[in-house]
Amino acid sequence: MHDIIGDIHGHSTELLLLLGKLGYQYQNGAYRHPERQAVFLGDYIDRGPDSLQCLDIVRAMVENGSAVALMGNHEYNAICFHQEDEKGGHLRPHSIKNFLQHEATMRAFKGNESLYEEYIQWFRSLPMYYETIAFRAVHACWHPESLSEIKKQLSDGQLDSELASISSDPKSSLYRAVENVLKGVEISLPEGVYFHDKDGNIRTEARIKWWADGNSNSYKDLAIGYPSDGNHGGIDIDLFKQIPFYPTEEKPVFFGHYWLRGKPYLTSSNAGCLDFSVAKGGVLAAYRFDGERELSVKNLVWV
């Protein structure tokens, strides 16, 4: 039995409240449940006020066997933001945009750079996906082709410096695989159409609802963040064929990343997004999974 928990983003108060609501108690250095194990979907850092405390809670649970923690795109970004490239810069450029995204985390580690280095190494060890006989979990997208590439190249599960460098090269197969799994599959919007994302950045590509049933092929129905007044025409058929829709007959899959709003709900009968924007005034959500093939809204818990 598992409790799958969505994106935390430095909100330790909500994390502690949620763990308490789920029945976890602090014992011998970590939060534990007598019968269940937590699965964290990534994005423990950035945006919120308590990234370090969130990391301490999650890592202690992992090391004590009461949780599994996946890598989110923010942990991956932190690795690349920290690691220098061969030209003297960094794998993730220190632009104003990237600096502001990581600022809250760097502030949390101010004066304790050795601990920051330690957590960067811990991030490298986090798996990018998790699967049991009953369910699957990933930060952004269950994309079989990309997962196969990640499994092949990260044979020991460690994103070491060399592999991080390869994964940041847009020409590499590992780059595209990591982008798909940790950030989501994207499609190009019609010419001249764009939208502003949650941080105000202009986007001409949109992440797609890969968990949809595949019966609709319009931008409006499939593109996340697509402007309400945009062109709602059909997607190019060749592009549509490339969308990795998750089959309804597959085992349940859980993911975060997409900044959903409002009261928690299920994205489909066998797919549950658990990111309900705690860092943007929303809630921290979890799903209590007991092996069911069809997910139920009754098993959603949030604070």
Tell whether 33 is covered by a domain.
yes
Percent of the chain with pLDDT over 70: 99
**Could you tell me if 260 and 273 are in contact, meaning their C-beta atoms sit under 8 angstroms apart?**
yes
Regarding whether 202 and 170 lie in a shared domain, the answer is: no
Regarding whether 136 and 94 lie in a shared domain, the answer is: yes
Tell whether 72 is covered by a domain.
yes
Residue 66's domain comprises 2-175+250-302
**Could you tell me if 43 and 75 are in contact, meaning their C-beta atoms sit under 8 angstroms apart?**
yes
Regarding whether 121 and 13 lie in a shared domain, the answer is: yes
Q: Which of 61-70, 210-219, 258-267 has the lowest mean pLDDT?
A: 210-219
Among residues 262, 246, 263, the alpha carbon closest in space to that of 254 is found at 246
The pLDDT score that the predictor gives to residue 221 is 84
pLDDT at 99 over 90: no
The pLDDT score that the predictor gives to residue 198 is 67
Regarding whether 13 and 132 lie in a shared domain, the answer is: yes
Tell whether 181 is covered by a domain.
no
Query: What does the buried/exposed string (b/e) look like for 106-145 if buried means 16 or more CB atoms within 10 Å of the residue's CB?
Result: bebbeeeeeebeebbebbbebbbbbeeeebbbbbbbbbee
The pLDDT score that the predictor gives to residue 280 is 93
Regarding whether 195 and 83 lie in a shared domain, the answer is: no
Regarding whether 198 and 290 lie in a shared domain, the answer is: no
Regarding whether 72 and 191 lie in a shared domain, the answer is: no
pLDDT at 55 over 70: yes
* 122-168 pLDDT, tens digit each: 999 999 999 999 999 999 999 999 999 999 999 788 899 999 999 99
Domain at 36, CATH number: 3.60.21.10
Q: Between residues 186 and 7, which one has the greater pLDDT?
A: 7
Number of domains in the chain: 2
pLDDT at 34 over 80: yes
**Could you tell me if 257 and 183 are in contact, meaning their C-beta atoms sit under 8 angstroms apart?**
yes
The pLDDT score that the predictor gives to residue 51 is 95
Tell whether 292 is covered by a domain.
yes
pLDDT at 106 over 90: no
Tell whether 190 is covered by a domain.
yes
Last residue of a domain, one of 243, 259, 274: 243
Q: Phi-psi category of 7—alpha, beta or left, where left has phi over 0 and alpha has psi -120 to 50?
A: beta
Regarding whether 259 and 200 lie in a shared domain, the answer is: no
* 210-254 pLDDT, tens digit each: 998 777 778 888 888 777 777 777 887 777 777 889 999 999 999
Regarding whether 193 and 170 lie in a shared domain, the answer is: no
Tell whether 41 is covered by a domain.
yes
Phi, psi of 234 (to 5 degrees): -70, 155
Regarding whether 57 and 200 lie in a shared domain, the answer is: no
CA angle 226, 231, 236 (to 5 degrees): 90
> Average pLDDT, whole number, for the chain?
91
Last residue of a domain, one of 218, 243, 268: 243
Regarding whether 78 and 125 lie in a shared domain, the answer is: yes
Regarding whether 134 and 168 lie in a shared domain, the answer is: yes
Tell whether 180 is covered by a domain.
no
Last residue of a domain, one of 223, 243, 263: 243
Residue 73 burial (C-beta neighbours within 10 Å; 0-12, 13-18, 19+): buried
Tell whether 195 is covered by a domain.
yes
Which amino acid is present at 262? G
